[in-house]
Amino acid sequence: MSKQLAFYVDSQKCIGCFSCAMACKNMYHPEPGVKWRQVYPLSEDIYPHHERAFYSLACNHCEHPTCLECCPVGAYTKREDGIVVHDQDKCIGCGNCVRSCPYGAPQYNPKLKKAEKCSMCWERIDAKLEPACVQACPVKALRIIDLSEFDDAEALHYPPGFPRFESLNPSVRFKLPRHPHVVRRNG
Ligand code: SF4
Ligand code: SF4
């Protein structure tokens, strides 16, 4: 497998503080309502202690990105390191990518009348810096991995609640939240 950078989401560590999402917004100033990264509390069906379990999600920089395939003007490219980049100068705002991505990653910016999405902060990566979300996380629940050399048998590709689209092969891995010890007082 050639190089493929990916987000690793450690839900065992995540405390749902939204620092990652806020750092992303501060970095790129998207319009109100336009969110490149979101933090989702897990429902009780997935994890009984729902106040303590979150997935922090953004674009998955898929191996086979449907956003790239459906764009009529070639605004999407996939870099050699696997990052899927959207070029706003080329974008005509047709919304094909917004409608086609099953992960809801591309967002329509009504002010610019163009689409936009997480860039994995490729400019920062090229400068040997972490993406803003990764840097902002106070508990190191987000990190960047290279799937071509990542080897963790416990990492999940499609954890409960995360949609399975194998044809896209989303570049993301997860660690599930741990069930807390239940301490009971007798008598
Ligand atoms: S998650 Fe959506 S926007 Fe991101 S690369 Fe995959 S298809 Fe494209
Ligand atoms: S900054 Fe870290 S701990 Fe806070 S919500 Fe994001 S991933 Fe979770």
Q: Which long-range contacts (CB under 8 A, 24 or more apart) does 133-138 make?
A: 133/20, 133/21, 133/23, 133/24, 133/37, 133/56, 133/58, 134/20, 135/23, 136/19, 136/20, 136/22, 136/23, 137/14, 137/19, 137/20, 137/56, 138/15, 138/17, 138/19
Please give the distance, rounded to the nearest whole angstrom, from the Cα atom of residue 67 to the centre of ligand 1. Answer: 6
Task: Give the separation between CA 184 and CA 69, rounded to whole angstroms.
Answer: 55
Please give the distance, rounded to the nearest whole angstrom, from the Cα atom of residue 76 to the centre of ligand 2. Answer: 28
- Looking at every residue in the chain, the average pLDDT score rounds to 94
Judge if the beta carbon of residue 24 lies within 6 A of ligand 1. no
Please check the confidence at residue 181 and state whether its pLDDT lies above 70: no
Judge if the beta carbon of residue 16 lies within 6 A of ligand 2. yes
Please give the distance, rounded to the nearest whole angstrom, from the Cα atom of residue 68 to the centre of ligand 1. Answer: 8
- What's the pLDDT at 29? 87
Please give the distance, rounded to the nearest whole angstrom, from the Cα atom of residue 103 to the centre of ligand 1. Answer: 7
State pLDDT tens for residues 39-98. 999 988 888 776 679 999 999 999 999 999 999 999 999 999 999 999 999 999 999 999
- Give which of 74, 65, 119 is closest to 92, Cα–Cα: 74
Q: Note the ligand closest to the C-alpha atom of 171.
A: 1
What mean pLDDT do residues 9-37 have? 94
Out of 27-36, 101-110, 168-177, which region has the weakest mean confidence (pLDDT)? Answer: 27-36
- What's the pLDDT at 182? 66
Q: Note the ligand closest to the C-alpha atom of 134.
A: 2
